[in-house]
Structure 1
């Protein structure tokens, strides 16, 4: 089922300790099935992690209610266990990685701008009926 409201897009950044990159990748190949289920149950979808040189990690997901998704995972025993095991991989992080990652500000989205451009160029109902 799709939501009538556009999903919230969330992008975040973390820094993986360079000396732990290989182990970090290994731990995500694959992620525990029960953790995957918790992420989905929290309402996160289209979730990806991207790793750049030097350990810069960018994460992205979509959700209908990020506050509810965060609260669900904060209360999850499985997520707490997973995040406790992931915490040592990150530089300068206070708290659980899933709760303390630095969110990034979205400045451009192609679909949103195409929709806005189309709406701006479409005649309104009043203009259409006047013709």
Structure 2
């Protein structure tokens, strides 16, 4: 199992709508997350900085393949088309990232 944390900005005017849609994520999107070996997926919001922090646990053996599978899913693409205009990627993210990956520096069970 691999723990993953990511950070992303959110446009202040979109916060209410972002919370609303994430209170009822489409079942097809949730099913694809599970099919891609992602568990314990959580998104946190930090205001007033307007940052989203995501945490999840990857239980598969090929994250790149599972990420590609998710990205190719039409329903996930539809969901992302709604979410992405609300988001504000960090300027410091790496090439190819939307959510900026974070380093795992500490964990205790």
TM-score (ref. length: structure 2): 0.85
Which residue does the alignment assign to 1:73?
A: 70
Per-residue deviation, 1:84: 0.8
Structure 2 portions without partners, runs of 5+ = 92-96
Contact 2:38-2:56 at 8 Å conserved across structures = yes
Larger radius of gyration: 1
Q: Bigger relative contact order, structure 1 or 2, given CA contacts below 8 A and separation 6+?
A: 2
Matched, 1:24 2:21: no
Contact 1:39-1:73 at 8 Å conserved across structures = yes
Contact 2:33-2:70 at 8 Å conserved across structures = yes
Which residue does the alignment assign to 1:124?
A: none
Contact 1:42-1:73 at 8 Å conserved across structures = yes
Matched, 1:15 2:9: yes
Matched, 1:86 2:83: yes
Structure 1 portions without partners, runs of 5+ = 1-6, 112-131
User: How far, CA to CA, are the matches of 2:104 and 2:89 in structure 1?
Assistant: 23
Contact 1:8-1:66 at 8 Å conserved across structures = no
Matched, 1:61 2:59: no
Which residue does the alignment assign to 1:114?
A: none
- Structure with the larger strand share: 2
User: How far, CA to CA, are the matches of 2:105 and 2:10 in structure 1?
Assistant: 25
Task: Give the alignment partner of residue 43 of structure 2, picking from 45, 49, 61.
Answer: 49
TM-score (ref. length: structure 1): 0.71
